[in-house]
Structure formats: C-alpha cells, structure tokens
Chain A
Amino acid sequence: MKVLLVSTTTHTDKSTSKKLLAVLKMLFEQQDSTVRYVDANTLHIVKNLSCYAGGKFNCASYDAGKYRCWAHKLSHDTPDEYGGADEMGVLYDGFAWADIVVFGTSVRWESHSALLQTIIERMTNLQNRAVVYGEANPLAKKKCGVVVTGHNAKGQSVASHLLEVFDWLGFQTDIFNQIVWQKTNNLHSEVPEVTDLPALETYLKSTDAAQMISKFVVLMSETRKKNN
C-alpha cells in the first residue's frame, strides 16, 4: 500500500494532529506500506480562482496546464501576481501516487483548518473531470481518512463532515475512517497550557488509544471496498 499523510494544521510545533500522523506513519510502515508525508503548511497553495463560476468546462480545462488547474498554471506564468508559484502540484502528484490518503487537521472554531479548506477547493478540478468531462475520477479507487484534534469543540462533527466532503470529491470513505482526539468535552475550558501535546502523549499510552488507532489502520488497509 502507498499511503500519503497530509498535515494541514498551521501549528508549526507541538501539534497534536501531527503527532497522530506520526503514529500512523509508524504503523503503516510496520505493515510494509510506503508512506509519504507532506506538511501542507510549508507549501504555497494559491486560493481557488472560482473557475467553475466561469463555466463548468473552465475548471479542469485541458488548456490549464499539467494539472488542468488555472490557479497552478497562471501562478507559474506570473508568480508575482499570486504571491509566488503554486505548489499544489506536490499534493496532486501525491494523490495520483497514493492508495490511501489521510488528512490531518486541527479544529478551528468548530471547523477544519482554513488551509485544508483551501486544498479541498483546489481539488474541484479532480472531481470535475468526472462530473463534467465524463472521465474517470482520479480519486475513485483511493481510500481517504481524517485525523482531527482539538482542545474542546466538535472534533467528531468536523471529522464526519470532512468524510462527507471527501466522499463527494470521489474518494472511498467510510464513517469509521476517522481518528478524533480532543482533550476535554468541557466547552468552557480555556487552554491553560501552550499545547495539549503532553495530554495526547499520555493518552497514546492507554488501551483506548491503542484500540482506536489500530482499528483505523486495519480499516484503512482493508482491500475490501466499503463506501458509505
């Protein structure tokens, strides 16, 4: 199996979602999978240009360069106008390569990270190849899962929502393809510490953690198709 782990948190240090991706990396490799890891926060990902609004054939147009994406092509033609050349190609290549894609995100105001949303919007060109151009969806045979961590708010809702979105985009998803860790369910808990990482590290030593993470790895590695 080829596994792509994509971190989309903007937490550069002591991130809990990155920690869980690290554990997954270890476990997938133990299963003789090849794992690639991308920290999307280090990439320059240009925002989507709402090409679809300019006519549905505009998004994923054959004229839009190697990745059939105008944001990518135009930013490479005139980088200064886009804050630099787009690096979403790293992820497009990764999606093409992988059998399994796992996105990690932190919870921000009861939602996923803005960076992940930017990536999702830039994936429209992949889905558009199927729904508009009648081609095979490049994500169709790939499994997708999510890792969501946060301090105290709605991690599971975020995870379930993301899985629904990735299902629409064309991935194979299952409602159980999620790892969610949240320090507390107390909605009024403020963050007294700089990071929740020590709490997560303690949790990772528990039976609960072993069960949840192992089940995720087993489920993601199953060859049987299991759609929602």
Chain B
Amino acid sequence: MSSLNAKKTVVFSAITLSMVLLLLHFKKSGKRKYKSNVDVAERSLDVDTASPRSEDYAHQDFTQNTSVTVQDVPTSLLRILQENGIVPPRTPNQIKVVLDVVDLETPHTKLRYFWSNKTKDSSRGDWVPASTVKIFAALGALLRLNELGLGPDTNVEFKDTNQKIKLRELVYSALVPSDNMSYNRLVQLAGHDKIKELFSQTYPDTELNKPYLLDDWKKLTRNNTNLSAPEIVLNDSIVLPRSPYSPPKIAGSQQACTTLVDLNNVLYNIVMDKTELSQENAGFLKNVLETRKQRGEEFSNSILRQIQNRQFRVFSKHGFNGTVYSQAVLLLDIPNRKLYTISAVGSPGDRTCLNDVGRAIGQLLNKNTL
C-alpha cells in the first residue's frame, strides 16, 4: 500500500503542477481570447481556432497510474474520516456501514471500508434487513425467467389465487413502493430451491425464508410460507409446476437475512452486468433500482447533498421495519471512473437515523480521496 500511496502522491503532484501551469498560462494568455472563439455563437465551420495552449493538461496518461491492490482487510471508515478532517457524528443508535470503492479502470478490485459502533458484530442474522432483501427476490425471479428466454413483459399467473400480473409490475412494486405481497410472489416465482442454488456461492449469507405481511399473505394464499409455490403459468403457455416446501439453507432459520457485504455485491453485480441476465432484463432491473423513491432514501440523500461538481447515477433499495432502517445504495460516476457501493443499517430510530452518518460519508466522497 505504501508504494501505491507514493505512486498516487507523484501522480497528484504532477497533476497539481500541470494545473498551476495551466492557470498561469490562462492568466498570461487572457481569457477573453479564447472566449471570443468559442463562447460567442458561430454560424460557420471556419472558425478561427487560435486558443491558449497548456502543455501538460491533455497529455497526462492517467491510465498508467490507477492500479489498486486487492484489500484483504477492510479499512476503518472512521479512521479515514478523521484523517480527512471530518468529525464523525456521535450517534446514539447503533450503526453499521460497509463502503466499497471501485476504480472503473480496474473493476476487478475493490477497496472496502467498514464502520460499526456495535460491540458485538456478527453479520449474519445480526440485524433485520427488512425490504432491502427484495433486490434478491427480484433478481432471482428475473434470472429464472431469463433462463426461459422471457423478460419483464411476461404474463405471470399464480394458480392458487388466479392472480394475473406482469413480471414488470411485480418487480416494480416490490422495489419502488416496496410492496410486501409482490416480494412474496417474486420469491415464489424464483423458486426457493432456485434461490438457494443461484445464490449459494455469490450471496452466501442471504436467505429469503419468510413471507412478509404474514397475516395478509395467509388470508390471500392460505399458506403461511413462501418456501413453497403454487403452479405458475407464464404467458398462458409455460407451466411451472407446483413446488413443494423447500427447507431453509440453515435448519431453523425462519427469517429473511442478508449482510451489508451481500447487498453491496448484489448491487454491484446488477449495475456492472455481472449477472446472467440478458441485456434487456438487466437494463430493466437497473432502471427500477434507479427510479427515485418517494421515501426511504434519506441516507443516500444525506450523502448526495454534500457533493458538489460531480454527478452520480444512484441505484438503491431501502428497508424499514419500525425500528431498523437500512439502505443499500450504489453511486456511479462514469466520467470520474468511480463506483461506490454503500450499505448501512441503523437502529433504533426512524428513517432519519442514518442522516448524520450519510452527511459524514458525503463530505468524504466530496473530497474524492478514496
């Protein structure tokens, strides 16, 4: 890491020097000269193209200076905040954050930062992910239909209630207004066995073992689980036979659970096209995740409000169960070749309980030093 830092220092020094030279050159040449060439409307292609020159600005070969070593041990985000002169908030509640940084020129490597004020820190089953897990259900359902060559416009019929709905509507309502019944149906559509198979390697700490809004679910389906599925008919022609009860990966586990790392990974894989989804299906899922939500994005909004002069594409899913608030968010900055995935959870509290944490992270990202 030390040689990397030394490299970075050299690069940034060179850039800074070139910028100083550029500014001096601007001063000498006079801004009006090039304003007159470009800022004034031109009607002809034969423009006088004389303009000031800078020797170093355009010829920097940044591609040679962006290698990042794989990080074995996550760095303390708290320490990084302090090193950057940002006073971390004193949060009365418990918080946990995992922040991954990827340089898009070396996307196979990630720098991971970690922040938790919990004394006990077992990831799995240690917190209630609530609606953030709905990303996995949507991905699972899309992957299953993808294997059949189908996409978002597939008509899906659940034979236990004869409910007919398009896959597009199920995914949208599970991820944007965060509808619980749609989530339950997505788990059934994906098939619990299929979810276990698909995710066993990629998202090892994620399980979708319990239907949400259980009472309503029982009334609707006369079933107290979504680990079995009724017969499902696709486009009035393809029959997915009824699937029997599929036990949880870990015996006795009755909850939906995941980890902040799994959440970061699933967002990254979707946005960077690392899933098996077709271009159409992947594009659809990305669009839904990028759709601005009416509520639940307080954490990412706190981050974004601190950032100036850069623009991020924002993909996110939030969760809230009354006392635990969480959000998984991916910030993509293609022009600056940066991608940040940030998953955070806070408890007890309302949807604003991560605002101070978000503000501190936003100040850090605004410095663009990660």
Contacts and interface: CB of A to CB of B under 8 A. Distances in A.
B10 to A, nearest CB: 13
A179 B335 contact: yes
B37 A37 contact: yes
A43 B37 CA distance: 17
B336 A210 contact: no
Interface stretch (A67-75, A114-122, A165-173, A211-219): A211-219
Contact of B307 (A41, A90, A185, A218): A185
Contact of B311 (A28, A35, A41, A155): A155
Interface string B302-319: 001101111111000000
Given A93-B45, A183-B309, A216-B335, A30 B62 contact: no
Interface residues on A, range: 35 or more
B86 interface: no
A97 B19 CA distance: 33
B368 A30 contact: no
Contact of A184 (B19, B34, B308, B333): B308
B51 interface: yes
B39 interface: yes
A97 B307 contact: no
A30 B53 contact: yes
A203 B60 CA distance: 18
Interface of A: 4, 12-13, 15, 18-19, 21-22, 25-31, 34-39, 41-43, 90, 93-94, 97, 150, 154-157, 159-160, 175-176, 178-187, 199-200, 203, 205-218
Given A26-B34, A34-B49, A157 B58 contact: no
Q: Looking at chain A's contact residues, is the secondary structure mostly helix, strand, loop, or mixed?
A: helix
B73 interface: no
Contacts, number: 165
Contact of A39 (B41, B51, B57, B312): B41
B37 A27 contact: no
Interface in B290-341: 290, 292, 301, 304-305, 307-313, 332-337
Given A41-B41, A179-B335, A207-B19, A22 B34 contact: yes
Interface residues on B, range: 35 or more
Interface of B: 12, 15-16, 18-19, 22-23, 34-35, 37-39, 41-47, 49, 51-55, 57-63, 104, 290, 292, 301, 304-305, 307-313, 332-337, 368
A18 B334 CA distance: 21
Given A30-B53, A156-B311, A94 B45 contact: yes
Contacts of A209: 309
Q: Which of A29, A90, A184, A210 gathers most chain B CB within 10 Å? A: A210
Nearest to B39: A18
